[in-house]
Structure 1
Amino acid sequence: MPRPRPFAQVDVFSAVPYRGNPVAVVLDAQGLETEAMQRFAAWTNLSETTFVLPPRDPGADYRLRIFTPGGELPFAGHPTLGSAHAWLGAGGTPRTAGTVVQECGAGLVPVRVDTADADGAEGAEGAEGVALSFRAPDLVRSGPLEEELVQRLAGAAGLRREDVLDHQWVDNGPGWAALRLASAQAVLDAEVDARALGGVPLGLVGAHPRGAPQQVEVRAFVPDLGVPEDPVTGSLNAGLAQWLTGTGVLPPDYTAAQGARVGRAGVVRVRTLEGRVWVGGRSTTCVGGEVHL
């Protein structure tokens, strides 16, 4: 029988509510079958819906299952931050002060409670208004894309092959393939036919002019999981950061913009601490209450 369960809907990667990427969070998912989780995720019709469970690993504060409308993911960035935000807001206390440890299909993912938001402003005390960042998981696939795939993805994005400056697998779970274009405007102008991607999750990245508020523009497409264009994408930004900071294309610390083509204003902050990439931003609880599942 369905029962009331605590629920929150959190807007992630924006200091302005309703301009980032929302995630639905069921804060007590004990007893729910996978089929019920998937059905609810399809019903919310958000890019991701998450379910908080007791941890299996003694080093974790909770276990998280992450669903798109079309399937389950081992890891995703904005659901990680939004779920940590909701868990803290519901009174969760991490084992280690200042760091929440999430257990998911990609293993243990630390989430820092930051002292500054994506624009450098001081964060507020408590769960609301605190900027969070997750440590980028190790890539499960890296290296250049196959040339045939580069040509196919470029064509699906309405690009010529010569429009692609560089390319790379930046897969930390969802399967990301990335194309680097000459400019942020080229990224924004791309007209992507999601059906032509052939099931490959695609990320586009290009540099903004010097002096712009953000250093790069990012877009993300995951059509096979029911997400034609994701508004703001933590996992993709994590993979891009590992690639582009590692090759010196971008500095160790920078910010990325994402979501303009779908009416959002996401800001993702990347920082490198002790040799590891951390990806974060601001989040806000926009809906709270309970759901009957």
Structure 2
Amino acid sequence: MRRTADGLAFAAPELVRSGPVEEELAERLAETLRIGRERMLAVEWADNGPGWVVVLLAAAEEVLELRPGAIEHMVGVAGPCPEGSPYAYEVRVFAPDVEDPVTGSLHASLAQFLLRTGRAKAPYTAGQGTVLGRAGRVRITADERDVWVGGSVVTCVSGQVAL
């Protein structure tokens, strides 16, 4: 963990699984996401522990338009933002029964995939939570050894649990 000008950042953990998913799983994910398989530019394991599968679409707009069915896997979907946008990618995270507004572990593995494949260059900022009415912004940086994931947060709810 380290402090940055924008808050805190953590070093991305090593991936425990990477590479293309099996075609049968890619087809099931396309069906679940309610898109044609041909729209998925890449479908890869980017698993740093939770079992993430990364789906890359051609554009941020396609990511924002998704209305998936019941999700059975931990899936991160990303699409590049248009030229001139303050964000490089729009990201959505789907897990069984939930869409998460900001997910650091997914951004860590997604960044490793995007940087390794030359689809992004660090530093970059990704947006997440837009569809949920949240302005999640995740900043990715890299040095010679690590990919760093950071940003700031806004506390929406705080409290205590009485036992």
Q: After TM superposition, is the score higher than 0.5?
A: yes
User: Aligned with 1:274: secondary structure?
Assistant: coil
Q: Deviations over 1:46-89 (max 9, x none)?
A: xxxxxxxxxxxxxxxxxxxxxxxxxxxxxxxxxxxxxxxxxxxx
What is the distance in 2 between the residues matched to 1:288 and 1:252? 33
Query: Residues 91-170 of structure 1: matches in 2 within 5 Å?
Result: 111-114=1-4, 116-117=5-6, 131-170=7-46
The TM-score normalised by the length of structure 2 is 0.94
Q: Larger Cα Rg: Structure 1 or Structure 2? A: 1
Q: Closer, same or farther in 2 for the Cα pair 1:156/1:288, shift >3 Å? A: closer
1:237 to 107, 126, 139: 107
Deviations 1:17-62 (A, max 9, x none): xxxxxxxxxxxxxxxxxxxxxxxxxxxxxxxxxxxxxxxxxxxxxx
The DSSP-based 3-state class of the residue aligned with 2:18 is coil
Q: Which amino acid aligns with 1:248?
A: G
Aligned to 1:246: 116
Task: Indicate the percent of aligned positions where both proteins have the same amino acid.
Answer: 51
Task: Say if 1:273 and 1:151 are closer, same or farther in 2 by CA, change over 3 A.
Answer: same
Over 3 Å counting, the alpha-carbon distance change for 1:156 and 1:290 in structure 2 is closer
Between the aligned partners of 1:188 and 1:285, the Cα distance in structure 2 is 24
Determine if the alignment matches structure 1 residue 217 to structure 2 residue 93: no
Task: State the SS of the aligned residue for 2:2.
Answer: strand
Aligned mate of 1:175, from 37, 44, 51: 51
Inter-partner Cα distance in structure 2 for 1:232 and 1:187: 15
Write out per-residue CA displacement over residues 74-107 of structure 1, whole angstroms, 9 at most, x where no aligned residue. Answer: xxxxxxxxxxxxxxxxxxxxxxxxxxxxxxxxxx
Deviation at 1:247, TM superposition (A): 1.1
Whole-angstrom distance in 2 between the partners of 1:246 and 1:169: 13
Letter in 1 for 2:13: P
Whether 1:270 and 2:160 are equivalent positions in the alignment is no
Counterpart Cα distance in 2 of 1:146 and 1:253: 31
- Give the letter aligned to residue 222 of structure 1: A
RMSD of aligned Cα (Å):
1.4
TM-score (norm 1): 0.54
SS at match of 2:85: coil
1:153-186 Cα deviation digits (max 9, x unpaired): 0111111011011111011111111110000000
Structure 2, gaps ≥5 residues long: none
> What is the identity, as a one-letter code, of the residue corresponding to 2:9?
S
Residue 217 of structure 1, CA deviation: 0.3
Aligned equivalents of 1:289, 1:232: Cα separation in 2: 20
Structure 1 regions of 5+ residues with no counterpart?
1-110, 118-130
Name the structure 2 match of 1:45. Answer: none
Distance in 1 of aligned mates of 2:89 and 2:141? 14
Q: CA deviation at 1:285?
A: 4.4
Q: 1:187 aligns with which of 39, 63, 74?
A: 63
Higher relative contact order (CA 8 A, sep 6+): 1
